[in-house]
Structure 1
Amino acid sequence: MNTISRMLFTLIALILVVAVAACGAPAAQPTTPAAAPASATEPIKIGALYGITGGMSSIDAPGLNGMKLAVKEINAAGGILGRQIELIAVDGKTDQTTTTNAASELINVHKVVVIGGLNDSTFALAAGPIAQQAGIPFVTAGATLPTLPEQIGDFFFMAPFGDDAQAFAIADYAIDDLQAKTAYLLVDQAYDFTTALASFFKQRFTEKGGRIVLEDIYRSGDTDFSAQIAKVKALNPPPDVLFISAIPNEAGITTKQFREAGLTMPIISGDGFDTPLIAEVAGDLADDVFFATHVALDNADPKVQNFVRAYTQEYGKAPENAFAVLGYDTLNLIADAIKRAGSDDSKAIRDALAATQSFQAVSGTITYAPGQRKPDKSVTIIRVQDGVYTFVKEVKP
Structure 2
Amino acid sequence: MRKRKFAGMLATLMLTAGVIAGCSSASTGGKSGDGGGTIKIGANLELSGGVASYGQSALEGLEFAFDEINKNGGVNGKKLELVKVDNKSDAGEATNAAIKLVSQDKVAAIVGAATSTNTLAQVQIVQDNKIPLLTPTGTSPTITNKDGKVNEFVFRTSFIDPFQGTVAANFAAKELKVKKAAILIDNSSDYAKGLAAAFKKSFAKNGGEIVSEEAYVAKDTDFRATLTRIKAKNPEFVFLPGYYEEVGLIVKQARELGITAPFMGGDGWDSPKLVEIAGAAALNNTYITNHYSSGDSDPVVQKFVKAFKEKYNGKSPDAFNALGYDSGYFLADAIKRAKSADPVKIKDAMAKTDGLQLVTGKVKLDKNHDPIKSAVILEYKDGQQVFKTKVNP
Pick from 359, 364, 382 the counterpart of residue 361 of structure 2. Answer: 364
| SS of residue paired to 1:59 | helix
Pick from 238, 254, 264 the counterpart of residue 258 of structure 1. Answer: 254
Establish whether residue 141 from structure 1 lines up as the match of residue 142 from structure 2: no
Higher mean alpha-carbon deviation, 175-184 vs 297-306, is at 297-306
Aligned AA (2:295) = D
Aligned AA (2:391) = V
Displacement of 1:396 after TM fit? 2.1
Q: Deviations over 1:76-108 (max 9, x none)?
A: 001011111101110000011111000111111
Distance 1:82 1:378, change over 3 A: same
CA distance in structure 2 between the partners assigned to 1:310 and 1:254 by the alignment: 35
Contact 2:309 2:317 in 1 (8 A): no
Displacement of 1:233 after TM fit? 2.5
Q: Deviations over 1:112-145 (max 9, x none)?
A: 1011122211111101221111100001100001
Displacement of 1:317 after TM fit? 3.9
- Structure 1: tracts of 5 or more residues without a match: 1-37
Runs of 4+ displaced beyond 3 Å: 38-41
CA distance in structure 1 between the partners assigned to 2:91 and 2:97 by the alignment: 10
Pick from 342, 347, 355 the counterpart of residue 345 of structure 1. Answer: 342
Which protein has the larger Cα radius of gyration, Structure 1 or Structure 2? 1
Pick from 370, 377, 383 the counterpart of residue 374 of structure 1. Answer: 370
CA distance in structure 1 between the partners assigned to 2:315 and 2:298 by the alignment: 16
Distance 1:118 1:317, change over 3 A: farther
Aligned AA (1:194) = A
Pick from 133, 145, 154 the counterpart of residue 156 of structure 1. Answer: 154
| SS of residue paired to 1:64 | helix
Pick from 79, 87, 90 the counterpart of residue 84 of structure 1. Answer: 79
Contact 1:47 1:112 in 2 (8 A): yes
Higher mean alpha-carbon deviation, 212-221 vs 53-62, is at 53-62
User: What TM-score results when the alignment is normalised by the length of structure 2?
Assistant: 0.88
Aligned AA (2:252) = K
CA distance in structure 2 between the partners assigned to 1:192 and 1:315 by the alignment: 32
CA distance in structure 1 between the partners assigned to 2:248 and 2:311 by the alignment: 27
Contact 1:40 1:83 in 2 (8 A): no
Which residue of the partner structure matches residue 57 of structure 2? 62
- Structure 2: tracts of 5 or more residues without a match: 1-32
Contact 1:64 1:117 in 2 (8 A): no
Aligned AA (1:264) = T
Displacement of 1:218 after TM fit? 0.4
User: What TM-score results when the alignment is normalised by the length of structure 1?
Assistant: 0.87
Distance 1:239 1:265, change over 3 A: same
| SS of residue paired to 1:304 | helix
CA distance in structure 2 between the partners assigned to 1:140 and 1:293 by the alignment: 16
Establish whether residue 282 from structure 1 lines up as the match of residue 278 from structure 2: yes
Q: Deviations over 1:278-301 (max 9, x none)?
A: 211122222111010100111111
Which residue of the partner structure matches residue 326 of structure 1? 323
CA distance in structure 2 between the partners assigned to 1:308 and 1:39 by the alignment: 32
Establish whether residue 171 from structure 1 lines up as the match of residue 169 from structure 2: yes
Higher mean alpha-carbon deviation, 111-120 vs 148-157, is at 148-157
CA distance in structure 2 between the partners assigned to 1:172 and 1:274 by the alignment: 20
Which residue of the partner structure matches residue 313 of structure 1? 310
CA distance in structure 1 between the partners assigned to 2:94 and 2:223 by the alignment: 29
CA distance in structure 2 between the partners assigned to 1:62 and 1:177 by the alignment: 31
Pick from 300, 304, 318 the counterpart of residue 301 of structure 2. Answer: 304
Displacement of 1:305 after TM fit? 1.4
CA distance in structure 2 between the partners assigned to 1:143 and 1:249 by the alignment: 18
Which residue of the partner structure matches residue 6 of structure 2? none
CA distance in structure 1 between the partners assigned to 2:184 and 2:309 by the alignment: 35
Displacement of 1:44 after TM fit? 0.6
Contact 2:43 2:110 in 1 (8 A): yes
Displacement of 1:40 after TM fit? 8.0
Establish whether residue 124 from structure 1 lines up as the match of residue 119 from structure 2: yes
CA distance in structure 2 between the partners assigned to 1:157 and 1:189 by the alignment: 25
Aligned AA (2:65) = A
Displacement of 1:277 after TM fit? 2.5
Which residue of the partner structure matches residue 246 of structure 1? 242
| SS of residue paired to 1:252 | helix
CA distance in structure 1 between the partners assigned to 2:34 and 2:92 by the alignment: 32
CA distance in structure 1 between the partners assigned to 2:57 and 2:34 by the alignment: 31
Aligned AA (1:180) = V
Which residue of the partner structure matches residue 226 of structure 2? 228
Contact 1:379 1:394 in 2 (8 A): yes
Contact 1:59 1:321 in 2 (8 A): no
Pick from 189, 198, 201 the counterpart of residue 187 of structure 2. Answer: 189
| SS of residue paired to 2:141 | coil
| SS of residue paired to 1:147 | helix
Displacement of 1:232 after TM fit? 2.1
**Total equivalences in the alignment:** 357
Aligned AA (1:52) = L
CA distance in structure 1 between the partners assigned to 2:172 and 2:35 by the alignment: 54
Tell me the C-alpha RMSD between the 2 structures: 1.5
Q: Deviations over 1:247-286 (max 9, x none)?
A: 2221211111111211111101111112223211122222
Displacement of 1:319 after TM fit? 3.7
